[in-house]
Structure 1
Amino acid sequence: MVDVILGLQWGDEGKGKIVDYFAPNYDVIARFQGGPNAGHTLYVENKKIVLHQIPSGIFHQNTINIIGNGVVLDPVTLKRECDTVASFGIDVRKNLFIADRTNLIVPTHRALDKASELSKGESKIGSTLKGIGPAYMDKTGRNALRVGDMLGKNFTTEYIKLRLKHQRILDSYHFNEDISAWEEEFFEAIEFLRTLPVVNGEYFINNKISEGKKILAEGAQGTMLDVDFGTFPFVTSSNTISAGVCTGLGVAPQKIREVIGVTKAYCTRVGSGPFPTELNDIVGEELRKIGSEFGATTGRPRRCGWIDLVALKYTCMINGVTQVVMTKADVLDAFKELNVCTAYNINGEEKTEVPFQMDRLNIKPVYQSFTGWNTDTTTISNAADLPAAMTTYIDFINSYIGAPVKYVSNGPGREQIVTL
């Protein structure tokens, strides 16, 4: 069977640590969507590691990791990460597999991303400029190069053909930046990629399921960035929800068992787009400072705000979440009062559903206040020792979203998780 871990907010929920925590219980960790715009932060031997393409189970010697067909893969980023992982004594050729149907990000995808974002001016969407959107556009446009293509004799010819197509679009943007260094780096990375095990991903995963192996599907970004159900157009280019596991790995819906949703104890967002509970005040600044809220991929300061239960209930519904992990609960240790958004005030009416087009509406959050626990929780390991005010806060969230918070992360360390 397949269990899923995914984000329930706008990404950056701390999924990397959570996957790393659960990984020893699984035989296979699989990435099913997204690209190097994901940033999953782990701490290995007290060193901070950010993975963008490699599944977060890579540091567990007996765990197989696979990059699924729903991912868009940047060979340069992957090679760089593999070098980092190898420095910890991990042989990626033994436990990292890549599905042959995985789409490649080529240098001109990054150029197109940059040209497009620059052309938008004030209405830019906050792209990470990693070439994700253009790569997915080529996938749906049936122009993409895939990992399996690089094993054929005509790969360079196919690449040049795609580059010429992209060049015509770049010319229309009047984009004339020299990307020859990017191309040189790309083809060096392709040579490296050819040394890794490339497999027929859907057969690989389904054979593991047939053998009784336990699979954990690792989501990137968050549900509120889903191309269909997120805050469109300020979204990513893939399906970040549990349904994306089926198309991103080639597994049937009935094979999915647990859906583990990850949410922060508050809310953050990187880049542009609607964010009803955003705090542009001293409290928001305090959340950012205590939580070290800077994007793992971009380094940009994250926008911060109180937890949004309207959005969280929505994302639990769409994903069929069976259990919730609440991360960075310790960041709230310093606050005497906490607010929780329980409804949206839109044109004088209270709504408890996420509307069609958030960015076209003036949404005012309706808050319910809670007394903070105002005590250090980072050393707590047993649920019975959690402050009463924290338990009250969690119980309210449980009842509102209709999905149980089963784990609370109270620090960045691998061992800093309390099971409820």
Structure 2
Amino acid sequence: MPALVLLGAQWGDEGKGKATDLLGGSVDYVVRYQGGNNAGHTVVVGDQKYALHLLPSGILSPGCTPVIGNGVVVDPSVLLSELSGLNERGVDTSKLLLSGNAHIITPYNVTVDKVTERFLGKRKIGTTGRGIGPTYADKINRVGIRVQDLYDESILTQKVEAALDVKNQILTKLYNRRAMAVDQAVEELLGYADKLAPYVADTVLVINQALEEDKVVLFEGGQGTLLDIDHGTYPFVTSSNPTAGGACTGAGVGPTKISRVIGILKAYTTRVGAGPFPTELFDEDGEALRRIGGERGVTTGRDRRCGWFDAVIARYATRVNGLTDFFLTKLDVLTGWEQIPVCVAYEIDGKRVEELPYSQTDFHHAKPVYEMLPGWSEDISKAKSFSDLPKNAQNYVKALEEMSGAPISAIGVGPGRDETIEINSFL
């Protein structure tokens, strides 16, 4: 059963789109299993750059069926806009499948997200303001709107009424905002029904039948391990489970069907939004990483916080995801440094700690313990094999592999589809 999970092993933005796209030609299905349009993948094909937010990266691979699973929260306007944009560029999007059980991001979810974040002020989480968290909250509170509800006006109206009973109390009495009208929300949501209908399917059945037929299915996570609602740097996390276990619940497959779990690992570390970040740099090196790496959020447009590679986080990602392989991206960005620091442990209250502390307080106070590795100055963007890399670049990769606890099976040496060194096949 060739089912693979591909996920971020840091705080997101590791280059998952490039990795998914690399596998796209050999994969029959690519399935997004969590998150929403708060995720973003940049895929470069030839001289064309595509910024994907909600759609699986497999949408760009002819012959591959892209699937939005039941664990994803879907903003219909964003989905339709993204499909339209790709169609205008000549990309065939007709094979997309959308789970009827996926939850809809409603207009009132977006409103609640924005006003809540503003209300928190200095205590804000750093959300994207796209309604992701409130939609997952509605799902858990059992007042959520699912895609299938768009095709039953009576059920849709009842559910919107139930959700707004509480939300309008909060909007008017706590935030001093105007109440939202039930009929207006229902009308807007019903307007998407016909446009989405060609894509709606029982994706759990489709995916499991594909696996039974020995098709290759790739499960693609958004965000990253350290943003997982259960296993990330809570509360500065997303509202879903980007870790490997999320693929089972978010796509409807059993864990015994997954044969490989691939973690995407940037050759340094970045994160967007608030929260602890032990190796964060506030000097010229941090600015250089941001500039050379083009570190700006695909979805948010915010500059990413940049720091050196953190092996403690990588080991943690290996453990909680059961990683079998790493795909190391953006190695080329590190070209030009004489020495490259790598965080091998933390110092907390004067003690050396080599594993991620479970206490949020300890993690906030963690100071990186660095090991210096020799850098390289040669251009590596044309390298086609591991032996083509300068010796110091090879040693850097080997050191990261040993520290992280899983083999590095592919290396990104540039943004292009063909700028990848494949050491071991993922299939």
Match of 2:328 in 1: 326
* Match for residue 266 of structure 1 among 259, 268, 273: 268
Matches within 5 A, 1:66-105: 66-93=67-94, 95-105=95-105
Structure 1 CA distance for aligned equivalents of residues 77 and 149 of structure 2? 17
Secondary structure class of the residue paired with 1:317: helix
Amino acid across the alignment from 1:17: K
User: Is 1:63 matched up with 2:67?
Assistant: no
Q: Is the 8 A contact 2:156 2:186 kept in 1?
A: no
Q: How far has the Cα of 1:17 moved from its partner?
A: 1.2
TM-score under structure 2 length normalisation: 0.94
State the match for 2:200 in structure 1: 198
- How far did residue 148 of structure 1 move? 0.9
- 1:408 partner SS: strand
Match for residue 295 of structure 1? Answer: 297
1:27 matched to 2:40? The reply is: no
Note the C-alpha offset of 1:50.
1.1
Distance in structure 2 (CA, Å) of the matches to 1:204 and 1:176:
43
Percent of counterpart pairs with the same letter? 42
| Aligned mates of 1:39, 1:142 — CA distance in 2 | 28
Q: How far has the Cα of 1:101 moved from its partner?
A: 0.8
1:313-365 per-residue CA deviation (whole Å, 9 max, x = no partner) reads: 00111111111011111000021110000101000000011112335541110
Partner residue in 2 for 1:362: 365
Q: CA deviation at 1:211?
A: 1.4
Change (3 A) 1:358 1:286: farther
1:157-236 maps to which residues of 2 (within 5 A)?
157-158=157-158, 160-161=160-161, 162-176=163-177, 186-187=188-189, 190-236=192-238
Q: Are 1:253 and 2:294 matched, yes or no?
A: no
> Shift of residue 379 of structure 1?
1.4
Paired residue for 2:340? 338
Other structure's SS at 2:5 match? strand
Q: What one-letter code is carried by the residue in structure 2 that aligns with 1:117?
A: E
Instruction: In structure 1, list runs of 5 or more residues that go unmatched.
Output: none
Query: Which residue of the other structure, out of 277, 292, 298, is the alignment partner of 1:275?
Result: 277
Residue-by-residue CA offset, 1:217-265 (whole Å, 9 max, x unaligned) = 0010000000011000000000110000110011010000111110100
Contact 2:150–2:190 (Cα < 8 Å) also in 1? no
- Aligned with 1:241: secondary structure? coil
C-alpha separation in 2, matches of 1:391 and 1:317: 25
Equivalence for 1:416: 419
**Which stretch of the first structure deviates more once superposed, 29-38 or 354-363?**
354-363
CA contact (8 A) 1:264 1:328 kept: yes
Task: State the distance in 2 between where 1:367 and 1:172 align.
Answer: 51
Q: Which of 403, 406, 409 lines up with 1:406 in the alignment? A: 409
How many angstroms does 1:136 deviate by?
A: 0.5
1:199 CA displacement: 1.3
Matched, 1:286 2:280: no
Contact 1:10/1:223 (<8 A) preserved: yes
1:123 corresponds to which residue?
123
What's the offset of the Cα at 1:380? Answer: 1.2
Q: Which runs of 4+ in 1 moved over 4 A?
A: 177-180, 182-186
**1:163 alignment partner, SS class:** helix
| C-alpha distance in structure 2 between counterparts of 1:42 and 1:313, whole Å | 27
Structure 2 CA distance, aligned partners of 1:191 and 1:101? 14
Give the count of matched residue pairs: 418
Alignment of 1:106-121 (within 5 A): 106-121=106-121
Q: Distance in 2 between matches of 1:177 and 1:42?
A: 41
Q: Is the 8 A contact 1:76 1:186 kept in 2?
A: no
Q: Which amino acid aligns with 2:410?
A: Y
Q: Which amino acid aligns with 1:150?
A: L
Deviation (angstroms), 1:53: 1.0
Cα contact 1:6–1:220 (8 A) shared by 2 = yes
Look up the match of 1:42: 43
Query: Residue 52 and residue 188 in structure 1: after superposition, are their counterparts in 2 closer, same or farther (change >3 A)?
Result: farther
Residue type of the alignment partner of 1:202: V
Match of 1:114, SS state, is helix
Alpha-carbon distance between aligned partners in 2 of 1:278 and 1:159, rounded to the nearest angstrom: 44
Corresponding letter in the other structure for 2:154: N
- 1:354-388 deviation digits (Å, cap 9, x = unpaired): 11233554111000001101221111112111010
What is the root-mean-square deviation of aligned Cα atoms in Å? 1.9
Counterpart Cα distance in 2 of 1:89 and 1:419: 29
For 2:251 and 2:122, locate their aligned partners in 1 and report how far apart those are by CA, in whole Å.
37
What SS does structure 2 have at the residue aligned with 1:194? Answer: helix
Match of 1:136 in 2: 136
Q: Measured at CA, do residues 155 and 49 of structure 1 come closer, stay the same or move farther in structure 2, by a change above 3 Å?
A: farther
For the Cα contact (< 8 Å) 1:76–1:185, is it kept in 2?
Answer: no
1:385 aligns with 2:388: yes
- SS of structure 2 residue aligned to 1:120: helix
* Deviation at residue 189 of structure 1 after TM alignment: 6.0
Question: 1:411: how far off?
Answer: 0.8
Secondary structure of 1:257 counterpart: strand
Moved more, 265-274 or 38-47: 38-47
User: Which residue in 2 is equivalent to 1:305?
Assistant: 307
**1:272-317 per-position Cα deviation (integer Å, ceiling 9, x unaligned):** 0000000111110111111111111111111000000001100111
Q: Which amino acid aligns with 1:383?
A: F
Q: Which segment drifts farther, 308-317 or 46-55?
A: 46-55
